[in-house]
Amino acid sequence: MKRKLAILGSTGSIGTQALEVVDQHPDCFEVYALTAGNQADRLVEQARKFKPEVVAIANEEKYAEVKEALNDLPIKVWAGADAIAQTVEAGPIDMVLTAMVGFAGLKPTIAAIRAGKAIALANKETLVVAGELINSLATTHKTPLLPVDSEHSAIFQCLAGEWDNPIAKIWLTASGGPFRHLTKEALATVTRTQALKHPNWKMGAKVTIDSATMMNKGFEMIEAKWLFGLAPEQIQVVVHPQSIIHSMVEFEDGAVIAQLGIPDMKLPISYAFSYPKRLKSNAPKLDFFQHRTLTFEQPDMERFPNLAFAFEAVQRGGNQPCVLNAANEIAVAAFLRDETSFLRMSDIIGETLQKATFVPKPDYDDYVATDAQARRIAAELI
């Protein structure tokens, strides 16, 4: 039977690539629900092609536009954050792809877990902000969390058949972004346009900036801690500019297993959708004769302090990763509006971490309050 999918964030980079996977395998998957934040035109276009049961748009001001555009089709149209969270609870849904960006992905992910839906997790902020809560809920409701990030999918694939063997460490690979060779003086003058030109991956604007600042790798380190039950000291970040090795697992006997492939997010998306099966892909395959040299470097946490902030936040625990995420969202949004500089983003995050109230054992309401407080502090610092 076809797996019925709810795709949260369908108009973003991951969401659109997920729909390409569905389009390539119509015998395996069916779109039950599509949700978006603001891109009404693209949501309507997707809905007319895939004809889901439900579409929902977070921006309630766009509801009338979407409703009118789909009036000739038997598609339910909803609006608002609460509607998105309710959408994932629908009985026919087998799997929910959480591809929304940022803190907004937390509430619907929790709703989907409580409804017993398998989660294809592309919203890394969910585990960054509330990893302990999410793991607890997933265990209680027996809900599988299948990673979609290329690095975590790589680790997941490397562990196939190895679940009983203790992990010594994992190696999270990072491209290093477009500025890995720039001095701190040069980083002070980089522009938004330069930062949005990732050398290897095609991603949304926010994730691309996070990659340039190394915050994305900090988030992935925190996500890996919760996904694979590791201590932060078991997670090693390594800069691998070619982005061919997507991550590696080192076992206690010294063996290292790596997952390789071309930089293409459709592979981990497809693997999460079809797990434990693999589906045929028409994407270009890795040609070792074209990639004869693979190199590795240590990350520079002095030039890219966001990675250090992530390790410090996860070591302190409590609501600190939530503060980290909220401050980063505000800082990146300001940078994308040309309201702050590349290096100032890290200063804002560091100062917010110092000023925000520390909560050692947060619950969901604490995360919501922490997110709001950290955003206020960061906004005042801009």
Q: What is the CATH number of the domain that holds 126?
A: 3.40.50.720
For residue range 266-313, list pLDDT tens digits in order. 999 999 999 999 999 988 899 999 998 999 999 999 999 999 999 999
Q: What is the arrangement of strands in the sheet containing 145-147, beginning at the earlier edge strand?
A: 76-79, 54-57, 29-36, 3-8, 95-98, 118-121, 145-147
21 lies in the same domain as 90? yes
Q: Are 100 and 112 in contact (CB under 8 A)?
A: no
Q: How many domains does the chain have?
A: 2
Q: Judge contact between 331 and 381, C-beta under 8 A.
A: no
Last residue of a domain, one of 283, 316, 349: 316
Q: Tell whether 94 and 209 lie within a shared domain.
A: no
The helix-helix angle for 215-228 and 150-158 (nearest 10°) equals 30
| 362 in any annotated domain | no
Same domain (yes/no): 184, 94:
no
> pLDDT value at position 33?
97
Residue 370 has pLDDT above 70, yes or no: yes
SS3 of 189, please? coil
**380 lies in some domain:** no
Distance of alpha carbon 223 from the chain centroid: 9
CA 324-328-332 angle, 5° bins: 175
Which residues are paired to 337 by β-bridges? none
Do 141 and 159 belong together in one domain?
no
Locate all alpha helices (DSSP H) within the chain, ordered by sequence: 13-24, 40-50, 63-69, 81-87, 106-114, 125-140, 150-158, 184-187, 192-195, 205-213, 215-228, 266-274, 305-316, 320-336, 342-355, 364-381
Looking at 99, 125, 147, which one is the last position of a domain?
147
Higher-confidence residue: 161 or 248? Answer: 248
- Tell me the C-alpha distance between 309 and 183, whole Å: 20
Q: Which domain holds residue 58?
A: 3-147
Give the integer Cα–Cα distance in Å for 102 and 36. 13
**Res. 201: pLDDT tops 90:** no
376 vs 180, which has greater pLDDT?
376
Q: Tell me what pLDDT residue 185 has.
A: 92
pLDDT, residue 1, reads 82
Place 46 in a pLDDT band, splitting at 50, 70 and 90: very high
Measured between alpha carbons, how far is 35 from 83 in angstroms, rounded to an integer?
10
Distance CA(124)–CA(153), nearest Å, equals 12
For a pLDDT cut of 90, what percent of the chain falls above it?
Answer: 87
Q: pTM for the complete prediction?
A: 0.91
For range 53-71, the mean pLDDT: 96
Q: What are the distances in angstroms from CA 48 to CA 22, 35, 74, 145?
A: 15, 13, 10, 30
Domain boundary among 274, 291, 316: 316
Q: Are residues 133 and 168 in the same domain?
A: no
d(C-alpha 133, C-alpha 364), whole Å: 8
121-155: pLDDT as tens digits: 998 889 999 999 999 999 999 999 999 999 999 99
Judge if the upstream peptide bond of residue 263 is cis by omega within 30 degrees of 0.
Answer: no
- 154-197 pLDDT, tens digit each: 999 999 999 899 999 999 999 988 888 889 999 999 998 998 88
Q: Is residue 184 part of a domain?
A: yes
Residue type (1 letter), 40: A
138/153 Cα distance (integer angstroms): 18
Q: Could you tell me if residue 285 is inside a domain?
A: yes
Q: Tally helices (H) and strands (E) across the chain.
A: 16, 11
320 in Cβ contact with 349 (< 8 Å) = no
